[in-house]
Amino acid sequence: MREIAKMATPATALNTPLAATHLAAGAKMGVWFGCALPDYFGDAAAEYRSARDTVALIDKNYRAYLSFTGPDRVRYLNAILTNNIKDLQAGHGIVSLLLNPQGHILAEIETYAFPDRLLCVSYSMIRERLIEVLDKYIIMDDVTLIDETPRYGTLALEGPKAAALIKEVSRADVANFEELSAHGGKVGSIPCWITKRSPGGVPGAEFLAEREKLPELWQILSDAARWHEGGPMGYAALSARSRFAGQPHQLHQRLLHRPGNRRTRALPRPGKPSARPTGFFRRGRAGSGHAADCGGQGSGPRYACGADLGPNAHHWNGLRP
């Protein structure tokens, strides 16, 4: 059983819903992960210091959100992704790769388990192609795939004061949460899922909320961050911070050496029950930062998911999906 919800328009998929808010705040916009996002809000160096010393607020609306429902959803995703989905507990997430039959990386996907569905998070710029690939292998399984990208958006708080701020605005004590665990909560009157992330080992969180609530959520979190002598951070500072922290290396470790990880494996060819485990993850250099080497061809820089972004694209520098 297959169902694909109506696709978002390219403008919806490739532009942050906070564009007007950012421009009104004096942000210079750029293209990151194929999406229009802030380069900086006036002073990239000051934004970098906020993330290092206090707290930074980040617009992470470059993501695609795909939900899987139906009784076979766990079995299906466990068969096509490289990590162990069948043992994923409700309210927890895990990082996996989606491979083609030759074992090349097609996408990096985070999967979160909820009582009634599995939510997969990847990159908006590859959303349509990703849906095609995932839908192709739903053959005999009772699984419903729904594109929820137009519905959701994500904001993040990072930095040494992030955990305290998160507790103030939502009562969520992320310092005591497990990494990549998702908890229902509210910021003001805004319902959201709060997921723990710890860049550089420093507890922080992401807030998944309905898109129409994002401007209000951004204002609340921005005001709170400024109260803590922090504020919004653009991707120029975030990229520099990620390169300095060596996060691509951390990604490599998380994917290949996470407890319970299985060997990466290729998608089965249509008509064949399985494929040999040929996937791997290599590290290489591209431009000023480390980038994922997917073994593909192309004249421009290669993205973590294997998509060719062209000669003017930013290199992937370890930013998470």
Give Cβ neighbours of residue 313 (< 8 Å, ≥ 6 apart): 31, 34, 300, 301, 303
- Here the tokens at position 126 are 């590859």
Q: How far apart are the C-alpha atoms of 73 and 86, rounded to whole Å?
A: 10
Query: Can you give the pTM of this predicted structure?
Result: 0.76
- CATH number, residue 29: 3.30.1360.120
- CATH number, residue 124: 3.30.70.1400
The pairs formed by 185-193 with CB atoms below 8 angstroms and a separation of 24 or more are 187/217, 187/220, 187/221, 188/216, 188/217, 188/220, 190/216, 190/217, 190/220, 192/217
* Contact yes or no for 14/28 (Cβ under 8 A): no
* Contact yes or no for 207/138 (Cβ under 8 A): no
Do 142 and 111 belong to one domain? yes
Q: Examine the fold and report which residue of 147, 176, 209 is the final residue of a domain before the chain moves on.
A: 147
pLDDT, tens digit (0-9, with 9 covering 90-100), for 67-119:
999 999 999 999 999 999 999 999 999 999 999 989 999 999 999 999 999 99
3-state secondary structure 55-115: CEEEECCCEEEEEEECCCHHHHHHHHECCCCCCCCCCEEEEEEEECCCCCEEEEEEEEEEC
Q: How far apart are the C-alpha atoms of 65 and 150, rounded to whole Å?
A: 8
In a domain, 5, yes or no: no
Which residues of the chain are modeled with pLDDT < 50? 1-13, 248-265, 269-320
pLDDT, tens digit (0-9, with 9 covering 90-100), for 204-228:
999 999 999 999 999 999 999 999 9
In a domain, 44, yes or no: yes
Q: Examine the fold and report which residue of 106, 132, 147 is the final residue of a domain before the chain moves on.
A: 147
Q: What pLDDT is recorded for position 232?
A: 98
